[in-house]
């Protein structure tokens, strides 16, 4: 029997574990290690600060699901791996493997600039989203300027755009919009770059949104310092701010940085070939955010990264599972699909409005790319949320 250990249990990890077990059946023992027993639908966190969702609405326990599918789930923190002995050291026990799948997600680099951790909020965690909800309740009693955006080296610009348009809508609902100067700051070379070199018509669309909603914006800027009442940009411009929400950069988790044998990049990501197999260690695989992705575009004045969203995470989890099965069957031809060649499928919420982004590839050159605005409601994102939660709760990892 072949033992595959998956470290990390959200989008990529759940998919990889379920698919290896489904395809490998009794010939494959699958173990998942994750410090959280919950699966969290991260894209919906942007609704939590505004009361459209509670954390319980977008999360569920995964232990029963995994047990029902024959997967051994260990609630533990993976500390490091010894690739020579093929053992993972956790805070509870040592776990041996034949194949290791690293699907650990990101660590947030809050120290990207002074004051970011102390004075800026971050919507990308349950705790962060709930802190924002509390802060906004206080803010509406004494409103002022707001700064929303992404710092230098950030890659998750889409979520920051979503938060921007949701907070603009919230300000109107609270009848305090006229009292608030709303600023958008981004390292992108142009609005709607998204770390994928943009989509045809995207910049024009977002410029029209900024004008329509009276949002001031700055492109090709980073954050020099955040203070309690202002944000200082790398251009030395100072923007007043009574509330600041920033998307910092992502880096690899401690499990990776504590395991030098993995030969991770300087930012803590796993170097893989197009089959998501480690470039040197052939029984180590990576999926989702843990993958090192080479960007095809030249950086501008301020560095930024590419997005690592749920869809490519899910896809790479499936590719890794398929290839583990092929290797166990003695096959040499593996499934390959470079990160940039995965289709782009994204729904950007714009405050009960939405923009559907579709492309045949994440990165250029592309044959097809389009942004479709829906100014009436955000039903597509709601539908996707319900569908993904349903299929994951059922363990239907093979579905798109």
Residue 67 counted as domain residue: yes
Q: Last residue of a domain, which of 325, 341, 357?
A: 341
Residue 202 counted as domain residue: yes
Quick one: three-class SS letters along the chain? CEEEEEECCCHHHHHHHHHHHHHHHHHEEEEEEECCCEEECHHHHHHHHHCCCCHHHHEEECHHHHHHCCCEEEECCEEEEECCCCEEEECCCEEECCEEEECCCCEECHHHCCCHHHHCECCCCHHHHHHHHHHHHHHCCCCCCEEEEECCCCCCHHHHHHHHHHHHHHHHHCCCHHHCCEEEECCCCCCCCCCCCCCCCHHHHHHHHHHHCCEEEECCCCEEEEECCEEEECCCCEEECCEEEEECCEECCHHHHCCHHHCCCCCCCECECCCCEECCCCCEEECHHHECCCCCCCCCCCCCCCCCCHHHHHHHHHHHHHHHHHHHCCCCCCCCCCHHHCCEEEEEECCCCEEEEEECCCCCCCCCEEEEEECCCCHHHHHHHHHHHHHHHHCCCCCC
* Domain identity same for 188 and 70: no
CA nearest 248: which of 185, 203, 205?
A: 185
* Domain identity same for 235 and 123: yes
Give pLDDT tens digits along the chain (400 positions): 999 999 999 999 999 999 999 999 999 999 999 999 999 999 999 999 999 999 999 999 999 999 999 999 999 999 999 999 999 999 999 999 999 999 999 999 999 999 999 999 999 999 999 999 999 999 999 999 999 999 999 998 999 999 999 999 999 999 999 999 999 999 999 999 999 999 988 999 999 999 999 999 999 999 999 999 999 999 999 999 999 999 999 999 999 999 999 999 999 999 999 999 999 999 999 999 999 999 888 878 999 999 888 899 999 999 999 999 999 999 999 999 999 999 998 999 998 889 999 999 999 999 989 988 887 788 899 999 999 999 999 999 999 8
Residue 82 counted as domain residue: yes
Q: Last residue of a domain, which of 214, 231, 249?
A: 249
Residue 395 counted as domain residue: no
Residue 148 structure tokens: 């929303």
* Domain identity same for 150 and 237: yes
Residue 131 counted as domain residue: yes
| CB half-sphere exposure, 157, CA atoms < 13 A | 28
Residue 110 structure tokens: 């809050």
* Domain identity same for 144 and 232: yes
The DSSP bridge partners found for residue 94 are: 89
* Domain identity same for 241 and 324: no
* Domain identity same for 118 and 229: yes
Residue whose entry in the numeric block shows the structure tokens 């569920």 = 60
* Domain identity same for 184 and 198: yes
pTM assigned to the model: 0.95
* Domain identity same for 241 and 312: no
User: Is the CA virtual torsion 275, 281, 287, 289 positive or negative?
Assistant: negative
Domain residues for the domain of 221 are 110-249
Q: Last residue of a domain, which of 311, 341, 371?
A: 341
* Domain identity same for 117 and 18: no
* Domain identity same for 96 and 207: no
Residue 353 counted as domain residue: no
Residue 337 counted as domain residue: yes
* Domain identity same for 188 and 300: no
How many domains does the chain divide into? 2
Residue 393 counted as domain residue: no
* Domain identity same for 240 and 264: no
Q: What is the CATH number of the domain that holds 232?
A: 3.50.50.60
């Amino acid at each position: 029997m072949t033992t595959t250990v998956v470290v990390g249990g959200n989008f990529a990890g759940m998919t990889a574990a379920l698919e290896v077990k489904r395809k490998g059946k009794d010939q494959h023992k699958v173990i998942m290690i994750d410090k959280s027993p919950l699966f969290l639908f991260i894209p919906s966190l942007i609704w939590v600060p505004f009361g459209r969702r509670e954390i319980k609405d977008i999360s569920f326990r995964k232990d029963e699901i995994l047990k029902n599918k024959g997967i051994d789930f260990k609630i533990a923190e993976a500390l490091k791996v010894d690739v020579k002995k093929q053992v993972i050291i956790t805070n509870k026990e040592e776990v041996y493997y034949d194949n290791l799948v690293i699907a650990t997600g990101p660590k947030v680099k809050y120290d990207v600039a002074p004051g970011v951790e102390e004075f800026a909020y971050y919507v990308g965690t349950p705790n962060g989203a709930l802190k924002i909800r509390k802060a906004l309740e206080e803010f509406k009693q004494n409103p002022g300027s707001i700064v929303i955006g992404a710092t230098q080296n950030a890659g998750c610009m889409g979520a920051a755009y979503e938060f921007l348009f949701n907070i603009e809508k919230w300000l109107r609902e609270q009848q305090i919009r006229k009292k608030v100067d709303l600023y958008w700051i981004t390292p992108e070379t142009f609005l709607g770059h998204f770390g994928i070199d943009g989509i045809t018509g995207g910049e024009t669309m977002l410029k029209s949104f900024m004008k329509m909603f009276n949002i001031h914006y700055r492109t090709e800027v980073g954050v020099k310092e955040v203070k309690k009442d202002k944000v200082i940009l790398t251009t030395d411009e100072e923007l007043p701010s009574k509330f600041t929400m920033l998307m910092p950069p992502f880096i690899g988790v401690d499990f990776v940085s504590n395991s030098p044998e993995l030969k991770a990049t300087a930012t803590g990501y796993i170097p893989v070939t197009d089959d998501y197999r480690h470039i040197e260690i052939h029984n180590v695989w990576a999926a989702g955010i843990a993958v090192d992705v080479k960007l095809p575009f030249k950086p501008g004045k301020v560095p930024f990264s590419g997005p690592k969203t749920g869809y490519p995470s899910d896809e790479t989890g499936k590719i890794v599972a398929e290839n583990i099965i092929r290797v166990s069957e003695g096959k040499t031809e593996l499934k390959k699909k470079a990160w940039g060649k995965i289709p782009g499928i994204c729904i950007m919420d714009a405050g009960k409005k939405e923009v559907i982004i579709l492309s045949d590839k994440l990165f250029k050159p592309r044959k097809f790319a389009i942004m479709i605005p829906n100014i009436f409601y955000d039903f597509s994102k709601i539908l996707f949320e319900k569908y993904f939660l349903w299929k994951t709760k059922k363990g239907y990892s093979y579905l798109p």
